[in-house]
Structure 1
Amino acid sequence: MSHKLASSSPQNVAVLVFPFASHPGSLLRFVRSISTVAPDMRFTFFNTSRSNSSLFSSSGKKGCDNVKPYNVWDGLPDDYIPLSRNPLEQIELFLDNALGNFEKAIKEVEAETGHKFGCLISDAFLWFAGDIAEKMHVSWVPLWICGQRSLLVHIETDIIREKVGTLGQEDKTVDFLPGFSDQFRACDLPKEAVFGDIESPFTKMLYKMGQKLPQATVVVINSIENMDFTVTEELKKRLQKLLLVGPLHLVRPVPSVISDDEEEEKDVCLQWLDNHRPASVAYISFGSLGALPPMEVAALAEALEEGGFPFLWSFRGNQEDFPQGFIERTNRLSIGKVVPWVNQEQILNHTSIGVHVTHCGWNSILESVTCSVPLIGRPDFADQHINMRSVEVVWKIGVRIEGGVFTKSGAVKALEQVLLLEQGKEMRHRVGVLKQLAQEAVGPNGRSAQDLKVW
């Protein structure tokens, strides 16, 4: 492979986006990171109108730097009414039409500009981007926005299903996977890789991705080598080329479009945190898609209030799930604050934050690591369980909530462990070591900085 991944002058790159959860923001971060080392490149960001609007501007038409958004259809009929709150419904409709939509949009842009694309970057979920790139005779560079372990699992789906792919085998160890100790069990893996119908739309997407990625020109991961060195080496054996460019939020932040109300809320939260002791506050957030069941919301709230743990809770659910008067009482006593939105990186960077209570999404883990904040995990789906197990047994920087769901006693126990006991001090020390490794990775001579220079 040549030193440069893209050809033609100026170099035009098509970027295909999976427009859900944190995927678009992570891909934009990666693209903007490339632009710092390859300023002559021009990127067309093929994404849905709604997602482009949230990333770029209220109009969805204004780009940033040398990245131009281009809207593609989201696959939803004009008269679409969600049948449930399950995001898989919209994902499946998007995927049903994605291949044709992206091919059509690429041809439109090439016709409009008179320039051919010399490279195709995509979210790794969009496995068919490899077929599009092959037709175009260009390099395909998929970005995996999660960690090394979950990627290896998807590449090794066949062997995993052969050994533990039946119900009742959830507690079987998976130490047959290189780099996995006997502390990892089948139930820690993304369930799509182990159990269920491999022809269901989302599972099929992940399976095909795992089969297709070894054919990619380069696979890029938002991680650092030293977080999982052994697994990184195993991935190198299975892929043509592997680049580690994380943590992307340290390399190049994405400018967010927030309202005046959100800006004011951010300032209020930071001022509130200023009035609390260092490493004393529990920051609680379960991601853009995560939502606790009502009984768990109430249990966690009771644990926080009765235990007197200061907290900042980014909450997007139904406030009626809280115990009656909970928000008013804790706010009046300056013990707690419930808000609909926060700038998570800024909050985690505040000295008063002592623990991040989280769903264990990969971005949340990386942001916690780079802010030296231990974790309490309540994983739900996808890669969250394997991330949580890594937090517990590999890096030892956090604890899983007892029994996998919030009870009042289990929440109190976990909060005491991290915020009050010696165990929590040890976690903070270890997460501080990981923070240093992450900072070194994005430094001038670090692995992430060096891997970006292939552009």
Structure 2
Amino acid sequence: MMIFSQKLAEHGFNIIFVNTDFTHKRVLSSMSNQENIINETSLIKLVSIPDGLEPEHDRNSLGDLCVSMLSTMPSLLEKLIEDINMKGDHRISCIVVDGFMAWVLEVATKLGIKGTVFWPASAAIVALTCNIPKLIDGGIINSYGIPNNKSTFSISPSMPAMDSSTIWWTNMLDPIAEKQIFDYILHFVGALNLAEWWVGNTTYELEPEALSLVPKLQPIGPLLKSCDNTTRSMGQFWKEDLSCMNWLDQQPNGSVIYVAFGSFTLFDQAQFTELALGLELSNRPFLWVVRQDRNSSNKMTFPIEFHGNQGMIIEWAPQQKVLGHPAIACFVSHCGWNSTIEGLSNGVPFLCWPYFGDQIYNKKYICDELKVGLGFDSDENGVISREEINTKVHRVIDDENIRSRSQKVKEKLLNNLAEGGRSSDNFMNFIKWLKD
């Protein structure tokens, strides 16, 4: 969303970027001395409203968050918009909303403001979500969103078959949360058609079948930051450690395992230990992002036998810069869609380790459809062993076919950004619509 905002600002639009208070504070804390520069001189202003939960409430409890947001935020957002418009400096003419917050379009419609949906997930997930009534009528899921049985299904003859275990709202780790999230989904899906435009971070070449099912969705991807090795990205949850770029400069090309699991994934100690020892067992240089979440009860400790001498461990990475570095050999990823797009756009082979939600489908797409990565197999206790990690690291790095396919996918994605590319044209058409 922030990258999209920056691209709009480049075309002269004033952006008011609205976050929840909780997320807003995280973003500001990662920016250090950039905050004043951005809010005083930039076309992007950062503001926030409460999500309704107490400050100490765990935001990883997505069910609670969904319930609270729907009951609290619409009236607060309406007041924020009215206050901004009363000042008269820049009246709000369009609201661009994360697709999973599409209830905001109800507020926009009430206030007579045109709306746009920005989808941060894959087109396949959009198509699946928009076809919930069809899934219920077809007996794939019940009225609570739960699969009626373990099976494969397809929402269209042109789409690759999906496994019922990859339905993203059934992978939320908590049955109560799943019901709360499904109720929330039904609400936002009902509001989607209030938007005049849908845009998404994907491309025609990447997901032709899925995009054919949601013709309203215009791909404008891959959305990538402009990279240099001296500036930090705007809109991060933690401060990026740029020292890793100097470390990467000292490593041979195609040698480094990059390991990062996004802002949400949690490990238990047994799995964390196996991961550490698996990286060491590989005898390859590695760059490992180990978050140190504030006030987190999920603090992991490194095993005594782990030395990590061949690697570098940091708290948060400038990920796109890292993935674009020639030293990177493969990406051990949770397969969130942003990470997926960034990895694919840099031609980096994947080792897929999904955690929940749409990541499980993204992993299958990377491994089975694009064939640019491998997955891990867990043991009888559900743990991915150090030996399995070592085996798959060497297998993916040594596979010339995977590397070749990764480069071809990269070329297809980046061609969309050139003048005359389909994503570039879609974005410029959107700009023209905004200016009308």
Structures share fold, TM-score greater than 0.5:
yes
Q: Does 1:418 align with 2:396?
A: yes
1:60–1:177: structure 2 CA closer, same or farther, 3 Å change rule?
farther
Query: Is the contact made by 1:279 and 1:353 (CA closer than 8 Å) also made in structure 2?
Result: yes
Q: Give the counterpart letter for 2:204 in structure 1.
A: E
Q: Does 1:367 align with 2:342?
A: yes
Q: Give the counterpart letter for 1:207 in structure 2.
A: L
Q: Give the counterpart letter for 1:105 in structure 2.
A: L
Q: How does 1:40-51 map to 2 (within 5 A)?
A: 41-51=13-23
TM-score (norm 1): 0.81
Instruction: State the aligned residue count.
Output: 409
1:153–1:294: structure 2 CA closer, same or farther, 3 Å change rule?
same
Q: Identify which of 328, 331, 336 aligns with 1:353.
A: 328
Query: 2: CA distance between counterparts of 1:243 and 1:282?
Result: 34
Q: Identify which of 342, 366, 375 aligns with 2:317.
A: 342
Q: Give the counterpart letter for 2:44 in structure 1.
A: V
Query: 1: CA distance between counterparts of 2:136 and 2:41?
Result: 44
Query: Is the contact made by 2:331 and 2:348 (CA closer than 8 Å) also made in structure 1?
Result: yes
Render the CA deviation track for 1:44-85: whole Å, top value 9, x for unaligned. 2222345445267446981563222233223234xx433686
Which residue matches 2:303?
323
Render the CA deviation track for 1:305-353: whole Å, top value 9, x for unaligned. 2232321110115675322141xx222xxx2222212211111111111
- Cα shift at 1:157: 1.4
1:393–1:31: structure 2 CA closer, same or farther, 3 Å change rule?
same
1:151–1:176: structure 2 CA closer, same or farther, 3 Å change rule?
closer
- Which structure 2 residue ranges, 5 or more long, are not aligned? 293-297, 432-436
Which residue matches 1:180?
159
Render the CA deviation track for 1:193-234: whole Å, top value 9, x for unaligned. 999679943222223233332342111101111101111111
Query: Is the contact made by 1:193 and 1:203 (CA closer than 8 Å) also made in structure 2?
Result: no
Query: 2: CA distance between counterparts of 1:282 and 1:252?
Result: 21
1:252–1:225: structure 2 CA closer, same or farther, 3 Å change rule?
farther
Q: How does 1:85-124 map to 2 (within 5 A)?
A: 86=61, 88-90=63-65, 92-113=67-88, 116-124=91-99
Query: 2: CA distance between counterparts of 1:96 and 1:60?
Result: 34
Query: 1: CA distance between counterparts of 2:225 and 2:239?
Result: 23
- Cα shift at 1:107: 0.6
Deviates more, 1:160-169 or 1:277-286: 160-169
Query: Is the contact made by 2:376 and 2:388 (CA closer than 8 Å) also made in structure 1?
Result: yes
- Cα shift at 1:447: 1.5
- Cα shift at 1:169: 5.2
- Secondary structure, aligned partner of 1:110: helix
Q: Does 1:33 align with 2:13?
A: no
Which residue matches 1:190?
168
Q: Identify which of 396, 400, 407 aligns with 2:385.
A: 407
Query: 1: CA distance between counterparts of 2:126 and 2:171?
Result: 10
TM-score (norm 2): 0.84
- Cα shift at 1:86: 3.7
Query: 2: CA distance between counterparts of 1:187 and 1:227?
Result: 23
Which residue matches 1:279?
254
- Cα shift at 1:161: 3.5
Root-mean-square deviation over aligned CA pairs: 3.1
Q: Does 1:71 align with 2:45?
A: no
1:252–1:177: structure 2 CA closer, same or farther, 3 Å change rule?
farther
1:83–1:69: structure 2 CA closer, same or farther, 3 Å change rule?
closer
- Which structure 1 residue ranges, 5 or more long, are not aligned? 1-26
Q: Does 1:146 align with 2:130?
A: no
Query: 1: CA distance between counterparts of 2:426 and 2:263?
Result: 30
- Cα shift at 1:92: 4.2
Q: Identify which of 302, 305, 326 aligns with 2:277.
A: 302
Which residue matches 2:183?
204
Query: 1: CA distance between counterparts of 2:227 and 2:412?
Result: 17
Query: Is the contact made by 2:100 and 2:185 (CA closer than 8 Å) also made in structure 1?
Result: yes
Which residue matches 1:128?
103
Query: Is the contact made by 2:2 and 2:234 (CA closer than 8 Å) also made in structure 1?
Result: no
Q: Give the counterpart letter for 1:71 in structure 2.
A: S
Query: 2: CA distance between counterparts of 1:179 and 1:84?
Result: 38
